[in-house]
Amino acid sequence: MSTRYLKDPGQIAIPPLEPGDHLTRDEFERRYEATPNLAMAELLEGVVYMPAATRASYHSRPHQMIAALLGVYDANTPGTISFDNASVRLDLDNMPQPDQVLLVLPECGGQSKLSSDDYIENAPELIWEVSASSASYDLNVKFRVYRRNGVKEYVVWRVLDEAIDWFVLQGSEYAKQTRAADGLHQSVIFPGLWVNPDELVRQSMDLMLKTLDRGLASPEHQEFVKQLKYQR
């Protein structure tokens, strides 16, 4: 037996993660931590998924834009925090690694928290995934997992389709949000998070942030900041 994945000489070898493995979440975490040079893996309905190499215009740049969008929002909204590529313990069979998450801090009434070993536990209020197309698992298995676990808003940027799908949890189902008269998506859970899908599709970072600035200056956002402060 190879000792390549031994942490210490006296320990039993831990197998590396492989796509398609059927594992419990505990075993998934154990193998993930023991597999060297692994940047991305997810457990969805007990099955390991590992994405292909990341393409620049189809994933990396859109990912960077959403990181900037949510980072600026949380910098201007005390009581919220965003994370990039953080693994989330949703339930015993699911530990996804979303592109971006935005959550309300637990001391401000949020539904998720950071564990003692530094993982997000329970469903963040908002998850954003960058996907190639509607055929991706982001709009299939992940969609069902996020809905069942209570992710309140789920956004998928379908890069090849040049489209943004914005879902809001209503009861036990996701309702697809339509754009407002001004062409914007406005977050239900995070007032002031304004997004013009056309600016994302064009990958226009400057226009995207200008639209967000308008949302951050809105009365709705100012009231939300007051509510979060009061929750503390």
CATH code, domain with 132:
3.90.1570.10
Supply the range of the domain harboring residue 77.
Answer: 56-231
> What pLDDT sits at residue 131?
87
pLDDT exceeds 60 at position 2: no
Task: Please report whether residue 152 resides in a domain.
Answer: yes
Q: What is the pTM of this model?
A: 0.86
Do residues 92 and 25 lie in contact, with contact meaning Cβ atoms separated by under 8 Å?
yes
Q: What's the domain count of the chain?
A: 1
CA proximity to 12, closest of 2, 21, 22 = 2
Distance CA 52, CA 129 (A): 15
Better-predicted residue by pLDDT, 13 or 173:
173
On whether residue 207 sits in a domain, the answer given is yes
Q: Is residue 49 part of a domain?
A: no
pLDDT at 4: 40
Angle at CA of residue 117, ends 115 and 119, nearest 5°: 55
Structure tokens at 208: 């995207």
Judge whether residue 59 has pLDDT over 90. no
The answer to whether residue 38 is domain-embedded is no
Residue 31 included in any domain? no
Confidence of residue 17 (pLDDT cuts 50, 70, 90): confident
pLDDT digits (tens, 9 = 90+) for 122-144: 999 999 999 876 667 788 899 99
The amino acid at residue 61 is R
Confidence of residue 61 (pLDDT cuts 50, 70, 90): very high
Mean pLDDT, rounded, of the chain? 90
Residues 43, 93: Cα–Cα separation, whole Å: 7
Q: How far apart are CA 90 and CA 124, in angstroms?
A: 9
In a domain, 90, yes or no: yes
In a domain, 111, yes or no: yes
Confirm whether 156 is domain-assigned: yes
Question: What pLDDT does residue 16 have?
Answer: 85
In angstroms, the CA 126 to CA 66 distance is 12
Residue 100 structure tokens: 């971006």
pLDDT at residue 6 is higher than 70: no
Q: Is 10 left (phi over 0), alpha (psi -120 to 50) or beta?
A: alpha
